[in-house]
Amino acid sequence: MSSSTLKLIGILSMMIDHSAVTLFRLGFLNAWFGADSFKAYEVMRMMGRWAFPIFLFLLVEGFYHTRSVPRFASRLVIFAVISEVFFDYALFGALSPLSNVYFELALAVGMFAAFKWLGAAVPHKVVRGLLMAAVAVAIGLGAEFIHADYGINGIVAAAIFYVLRCHRKAQAVAVIPAFYFEGMPFTFLVAPLLYAYNGKRGLPLKYVFYAFYPVHLALLSLLEFIY
């Protein structure tokens, strides 16, 4: 399974997840499903639990293959800023203190860069491990401070994916404890998808992947004003 296939699965999962929030908040699910509207909402949210683990997995792969970490991080920050108002209105119907997921991904890339530097600068494994843990906690607290979408949970999950990057089977199995906060059982089903990753790029979807996030949120946020 190529990275583009995983991206498409993640995009579809994310769209279902965000659509569930917007449509339930605006009453569309109630109009369509009546008394079963909350059940429909829960099913859609569970289907959306695949998105974040897939995106973090691909973030680690992207970090290892990027030619420029600063450019990689800056793209995430730029799209985070572009997406924020759309994120707020699509999911909450107003400006919100919660920051969209691109901010969290940018923080994770900063953490990966620190991990890489520590790997080269600190030869002692125990000391290096303790310093990496301290970095992860510090950046996780930063994620909590800016009210990033997944907070410290997302940063810890990103750290686990980074550390296990060279051990694909362990990395896939780690989905279960690392993303338990995302909800079961659908997150559990991500494990075989990640294990099936073949290391190939597939279709050139880099900017489609970046742009889809603000575009689909913009379309969802329009519902707030149309209806």
For the stretch 44-87, pLDDT in tens is 998 888 899 999 999 999 999 998 999 999 999 999 999 999 99
Whether 36 is in a domain gets the answer no
* 57, 161 Cβ separation under 8 angstroms: yes
pLDDT at 37 over 80: yes
pLDDT at 9 over 90: yes
Whether 75 is in a domain gets the answer yes
Whether 24 is in a domain gets the answer no
**Domain extent for 109:** 3-10+49-226
pLDDT at 225 over 90: no
Whether 35 is in a domain gets the answer no
Half-sphere exposure of 108 (CA within 13 A, CB side): 34
The DSSP bridge partners found for residue 110 are: none
Whether 200 is in a domain gets the answer yes
Coil/strand/helix, residue 148: strand
Whether 71 is in a domain gets the answer yes
Please count the structural domains in the chain.
1
Whether 19 is in a domain gets the answer no
The pLDDT confidence band at residue 226, using thresholds 50, 70 and 90, is confident
Whether 210 is in a domain gets the answer yes
pLDDT at 139 over 70: yes
Two structure tokens written together for 146: 């800016």
pTM exceeding 0.85: yes
* 13, 55 Cβ separation under 8 angstroms: no
